[in-house]
Structure 1
Amino acid sequence: MDLYNKGARLEEILEENLPIEVKVNVLFDVLKNVLDEGAIRARTIRFKLQKYVNSTNINERVYALDVIASDGNGAKVVPSDEDLEKSLEDVVYWISENIAKKYVQNKIEADVEKALVERQDKFMDELRVSIIKKQKGKENTKTTAKLERLEKLDAKHINKNVMSLLRPENFEEVVGQERAVRSLISKMSSPYPQHIILYGPPGVGKTSAARLALEAAKKLKFTPFDEDSKFVEVDGTTLRWDPREITNPLLGSVHDPIYQGSKRDLAEVGVPEPKTGLVTEAHGGVLFIDEIGELDEILQNKLLKVLEDKRVEFSSSYYDPDDENIPAYIKYLFDKGAPADFVLIGATTKDPSQINPALRSRCTEVYFEPLSSKDIEGIVNNASEKLNVELEDGVGRLISQYTIEGRKAVNILADAYGYSLFNENGEESKNKITLKDVEEVISIGRYSPFERIDNLDKGEVGHVYGLGVSGFLGSTIEIESTVFPAKKKGHGTIKFNDTAGSMAKDSVFNAASVIRKITNMDINDYDIHVNVIGGGKIDGPSAGAAITVCIISALTDRPIRQDIAITGEISLRGNVKPVGGIFEKIYGARRKGIKLVAIPKDNEKEVPLGLEDIEVKSINHIEELMEIVFEK
């Protein structure tokens, strides 16, 4: 081995006057330096040389050395004593071959590595030159021409948004929502403003009221709002985010330096860049989320955490707090988070039971009322003043028959305004909207009357108005009944709409029992048919009292006042039990032109204050109701 370390040639090992055992040991050591131990072990096992390698017989050891060095291409049998020197020469030849191969392989690898380094350096130089060229100047002839084209396009406006023009500019223009507006302002105009959820039908002024409430609060010194407080508005139905946090416009996200396009100077040094979201933009002001009930549930939960912490935390596997290349603002965002202290106002058309309970528990609630016909007329009149147009008598009333939404009423008026600008001859007309203009717009738009107001002065037998609720809107339900003598006495039947619902059918059977009790009439002697006009589904027992008086009217041939509407569950004892949605039901009765609403006594406290155009009476028992509904 010493001879090898001194750089002696392999042939010199054979020429040295050394015992053959020493030569074999030296050649084994040389082979171990040429081949790694793994390769030697593998060849030993593959050619089954274990016993030869460790043999005390020198001939067998030379055979093993030859087979390992030649990888099985050399000796096939153990050499004899006469062939031993020749075998050692073969071993030297095979080891020399391995040394030559290893030398060439190492040289090729070194050349490849050198070429790769040179190419990498060249690529980085080219990349730096490219970046320098791009950063050399912000503008050139092409970018300047494109900017001029954009500015020219931006200076030309064809469509002015009528909704922006007619948007309420003060609380007086938010028609029909006096109670909701007072409640909203009181919650905002405080040293400790609360998060708020606004409930109500679409187009009644929730967004406008929220925007005006912030402006009012900014003028008060004791509120935390100031002139810089923003009103940031976003639509919950279109707000999308990526669960992997690649993008999150609401809360913010982190742009890593490789995949998500951080700034060029940050990408070069591998620095991730946080992008703040709308919650940070709304810091110190109001974040308004329209249709908050449609917001993704996971995103709602993340928003709740921001409401608690008043900050947004960022994290990234690329962030190294000890990296000196990280700008101070990025380090601030990662270490402390982004500020997000704001008042959340969410608006929804959903029922409160459909809103996330955790979100509701952190917010106070304000209910916006459905708009009455008078409210719609007021909105139309306000809009006509802003359009500087005169209305023919009855235009507001006509529009109010086809919508309960302030936004849609304004759209109908705007369409009629455009229609009225030119007459049939194409000449510019007077600045006036006529009934004919509105009727034409309604016909073209295929609008349907929201509620038909019929003649309610004349009483009818077997016909009564019940009351129902759908969402935030109440409406009247027409119920009629007729009776015939049974073909066979004592075998009468009762028929009712199959689509009305099981609870409504139970109300019919309850009514039959009550009628038998208070009139002493055997209803089994009659075939009774009760019908809900329109085939609507009734989800609940609230039509029970109305069904009862309707059947009694048909049985006794007593006419029922048609200007009265009834709601209440009927019990087997004839008691009128409380039901839900009283506020909405009274609203529906007002739109129909009803003069009197009969409600259960236990619902008396739910009647809105200040009703002028409708009377509400509370009753305990069906006999009290009969005294009211039947014409004298």
Structure 2
Amino acid sequence: MTTTQKDILHTSTMPVIALRGLTIFPNVLIHFDVARDISIKSLETAMTTGSPVFLVAQKDISVEVPDQRDLYVVGTISNVRQILRMPGDNVRVMVEGQARGKLLRLLRTEPYLEGEILELPEEERTGTSARTEALMRSTYELFQRYTELAPKVSPDLLIHVLASQDPGYISDYIAQNIPMRNSDKQTILEERRPLRRLEKLHRLLDREVEILALDNEIQSKAREQMSDQQRDYYLREQMKAIQNELGEGDGADEFEEYRQKIAKAALPDEVREKLTKELNRLTKQPFGSSEATVLRSYLDVCLELPWGKYTKEKISVPAVRRVLDQEHYGLDKVKERILEFVAVKQLAPALKGQVLCLVGPPGVGKTSIAMSMAKAMNRKLARLSLGGVSDEAEIRGHRKTYVGAMPGRIITAIQQAGSCNPLILLDEIDKLGRDHRGDPSSALLEVLDGEQNATFRDNFLEVPFDLSQVLFITTANTLDTIPRPLLDRMEVIELSSYTDEEKVQIGKKYLLPKEMKRHGLEKSQLKVSDSALREIISAYTRESGVRVLERMLAAICRKTAMRVVSDGVKSIHITEKDLKEYLGVPRYYPERQALEERIGVVNGLAWTSVGGELLEVEVNVVPGAGKVELTGNLGDVMKESAYAALSFIRSQSDRLGIPADFYKEKDIHVHFPEGAVPKDGPSAGIAITTAMVSALTGCPVRRGIAMTGEVTLRGRVLPIGGLKEKTMAAFRNGIKTVILPADNGKDLEEIDQTVRKALQFILVERADQVLSAALSHPLPSAEEQREPSAPVLGTAKRAPGPRLRQ
């Protein structure tokens, strides 16, 4: 619009207030709250100087300190009528719009907004035409319709609009007093021509009326639907009352069905009374209530349990022996203990409290033995894994009042078995967790106690359930992580590692036929020689059990099936020369024993949860300041063994021919290879001692020798555990001689006969006996004195060892 001389005369400078979410129209009295400092200072300036204030809407309400590009161009020049201070530094102001104005430019933004404003005069009316009258009448009707649909609209608004014949005023008044988008209100404000302004308002008002009509229709439908639901509820309740009087209807059938189930089930009196009470509560619940759902779920779970149902147990020692021999090779002591258990059950069927715990490395057949027992004794089998379970509610269940409550795993296993005397297999009991939700191992104390589990109470059931007839068998890889009170409930049966010959027989008689059947191969299509099996065991697997061996045989079966299908081969015979083609490059090689006797390197024996391992100890001595370096990811116990060994050597330095001040002038580095594997335990003491003495004196360590045992500061050798696994590891790695603590001599009876025949055992009581047996040359000494020799067990003769100074 071209600025005329008359417009210039109406240009003035005045304070500016930026409005957020609000638009002010001329000839309207309105009040609003002001909170920003720049707006409050604009008001104060206007009141002090008596000048009007320019109210203009802000485009983006999130801008805290606006400048000219954040404000609309057209606003309202208004007079401040009243200012009221409110709590919280807010100000409530009443203003009266005078005229439209245009913001030419902002003169300042600090400490308040001040701008140069051009007053926009209202266009003069030339008369009321028929079109204008028709538009005003249509606007009246729309506004009347709006007041009928809109909630909380004062009737005075309609009266005020009907009393005016000015289209511009009507447009401004309606736009000011009804809720609509700020951009739409700004469009009305920026239109100076009254008739065009009324047309725009008419379009906007028509849209608002349509929106309100749809909103009311949606709310009406929602109210009708709710009313229908309430009506259906009352009708159902009346129908339910009538059916209860007549003894008819679905509800009566449901309740009668529950009553019949309670009557037919072999329930204890306490349980029957509890379920009858819960059923009576259910009959009084409204249809569809949450309490009724909880009660139905509770009754369903309780009545699905096998109350009084038992399978006829076959207690026959020959039958159990036959099944165990068919499905497992070796494990003679384990089978013998299980057969003893069956024999006792045959003589005393009412015997309770026998819980067997099968402990051994992975893959030795713990779970399959338990499954064979269930098959042989005609007991239902329910298996549940406890690995990683850290919530006590997993064992005892949740209270039925909780959302999503369910019984614990023990009751669920009974329900799945469908019998009160199943065999429940608790796998991985050594891997139970514990956190803020409780200790599941403590909950198992009641389950595995024959004196308590006759009245086991699950939190969901709230009634006792008899577990005394359940045969519990647990499995574990190690006993160290099982809490002592829980371990006290169980009788431990240890399953040791398999020898290579046992693995050959297992692979030939059990694993290979099983894998051939799984892969659809006939007996004539694949044959694997014994030499190939032995090569697979020595070069492709290194384990205590037979799982990796099973996977290797499965790989051979897959490649055989591929050749049978693709090449049309009728039969394949695999020898040890063919393994590289079927299984690739060998993964393991026999332990390479040094051709020369090594200095400062000793073979130790370690026990792990997956069996025994050969653990090398390396010691290097270099000139230095007496530092002791321990590397190889060692635990605290093993570090203490190293320092104890060093202290013993210092105390015996004169007898060993070692300079007394070696700990001041030499740095000793003790290293265990495979540093990524954590190592800890109290059985590496004599190995560290021997390696240190060998490195300090230069005496080599004999070939083909390994040792295990802890050493004290006085040189005593203490007994160790895991002897079966450690000797098996020595046998597997080609060791010929094993040095053991003398107190472990009684444990040699438990070692596999194959291992006993292949190894020579030297029993020692003191560290000097270890050094005499392990070092190949006499130590340098001024005087020689014979020491009592250590007893030697086995077939090999012991070579003469060094003699120590007294």
- The two structures have a TM-score, normalised by structure 2, of 0.47
Describe the SS at the equivalent of 1:252.
Answer: helix
How many Å separate the matches in 2 of 1:115 and 1:526? 95
Describe the SS at the equivalent of 1:366.
Answer: strand
> Match for residue 211 of structure 1?
371
- 8 Å Cα contact 1:507-1:547 kept in structure 2: no
> Match for residue 802 of structure 2?
none
Match of 2:399 among 244, 247, 263: 244
Match of 2:633 among 492, 499, 503: 499
How many Å separate the matches in 1 of 2:745 and 2:603? 20
How many Å separate the matches in 1 of 2:232 and 2:693? 103
Q: CA offsets per residue over residues 92-139 of structure 1, 9 Å max, x none?
A: xxxxxxxxxxxxxxxxxxxxx9997556335889998889999xxxxx
Letter in 2 for 1:408: V
> Match for residue 379 of structure 1?
506
Aligned pairs for 1:371-520 (under 5 A) are 371-382=498-509, 383-385=511-513, 387=516, 388=523, 389-401=526-538, 402-404=541-543, 405-423=545-563, 426-429=566-569, 430-435=571-576, 438-439=579-580, 442-443=583-584, 449=588, 452-455=590-593, 458-471=596-609, 473-484=611-622, 486=623, 491-497=625-631, 499-501=633-635, 502-514=639-651, 516-520=653-657
Greater alpha carbon shift after TM alignment, 193-202 vs 534-543: 534-543
List gaps (5 residues or longer) in structure 2: 1-229, 255-321, 433-439, 517-522, 778-806
Match of 1:532 among 665, 672, 690: 672
Distance apart, 1:411 and its partner CA: 2.3
Describe the SS at the equivalent of 2:604.
Answer: strand
- 8 Å Cα contact 2:699-2:775 kept in structure 1: yes
Letter in 1 for 2:339: I
Matched, 1:343 2:465: no
Letter in 2 for 1:499: N
* Inter-CA distance 538–511: structure 2 relative to 1 (3 Å threshold): farther
Describe the SS at the equivalent of 1:499.
Answer: coil
Q: CA offsets per residue over residues 119-177 of structure 1, 9 Å max, x none?
A: 6335889998889999xxxxxxxxxxxxxxxxxxxxxxxxxxxxxxxxx9542652342
Matched, 1:618 2:763: yes
Q: CA offsets per residue over residues 298-350 of structure 1, 9 Å max, x none?
A: 65245246763435568989x9xxxxxxxxxxxxxx7x85675122111122x
Q: CA offsets per residue over residues 205-261 of structure 1, 9 Å max, x none?
A: 112222334555x4xxxxxxxxx53333333349856422532264438xxxxxxxx
Distance apart, 1:416 and its partner CA: 1.3
* Inter-CA distance 438–312: structure 2 relative to 1 (3 Å threshold): farther
Describe the SS at the equivalent of 1:203.
Answer: coil
Describe the SS at the equivalent of 1:421.
Answer: helix
Letter in 1 for 2:489: R
Coordinate RMSD, CA, aligned: 4.0
Match of 1:121 among 234, 238, 242: 238
Match of 2:494 among 360, 367, 374: 367
Aligned pairs for 1:269-280 (under 5 A) are 277=415
Distance apart, 1:551 and its partner CA: 2.5
- 8 Å Cα contact 1:568-1:579 kept in structure 2: yes
Describe the SS at the equivalent of 1:409.
Answer: helix
* Inter-CA distance 390–614: structure 2 relative to 1 (3 Å threshold): same
Letter in 2 for 1:550: A
Describe the SS at the equivalent of 2:706.
Answer: strand
Distance apart, 1:494 and its partner CA: 3.9
* Inter-CA distance 528–169: structure 2 relative to 1 (3 Å threshold): same
- The two structures have a TM-score, normalised by structure 1, of 0.59
> Match for residue 335 of structure 2?
181
How many Å separate the matches in 1 of 2:384 and 2:745? 39
Matched, 1:563 2:713: no
How many Å separate the matches in 1 of 2:721 and 2:683? 8
Q: Structure with the greater relative contact order (CA < 8 A, sep ≥ 6): 1 or 2?
A: 1
* Inter-CA distance 248–357: structure 2 relative to 1 (3 Å threshold): farther
How many Å separate the matches in 1 of 2:645 and 2:459? 63
Letter in 1 for 2:454: K
List gaps (5 residues or longer) in structure 1: 1-112, 135-167, 219-227, 254-274, 320-333
- 8 Å Cα contact 1:403-1:409 kept in structure 2: no
* Inter-CA distance 499–422: structure 2 relative to 1 (3 Å threshold): closer
> Match for residue 233 of structure 1?
383
Letter in 2 for 1:308: Q
Distance apart, 1:393 and its partner CA: 5.0
Distance apart, 1:591 and its partner CA: 1.9
How many Å separate the matches in 1 of 2:726 and 2:773? 19
How many Å separate the matches in 2 of 1:307 and 1:437? 59
> Match for residue 297 of structure 1?
441
Identity of aligned residues (%): 22
Distance apart, 1:200 and its partner CA: 1.1
Aligned residues: 431
Describe the SS at the equivalent of 1:353.
Answer: coil
Letter in 2 for 1:569: E
- 8 Å Cα contact 1:503-1:539 kept in structure 2: no
How many Å separate the matches in 2 of 1:392 and 1:498? 41
Distance apart, 1:464 and its partner CA: 1.1
* Inter-CA distance 600–340: structure 2 relative to 1 (3 Å threshold): closer
Q: CA offsets per residue over residues 411-452 of structure 1, 9 Å max, x none?
A: 2212211112233992133243454765466559xx954x85
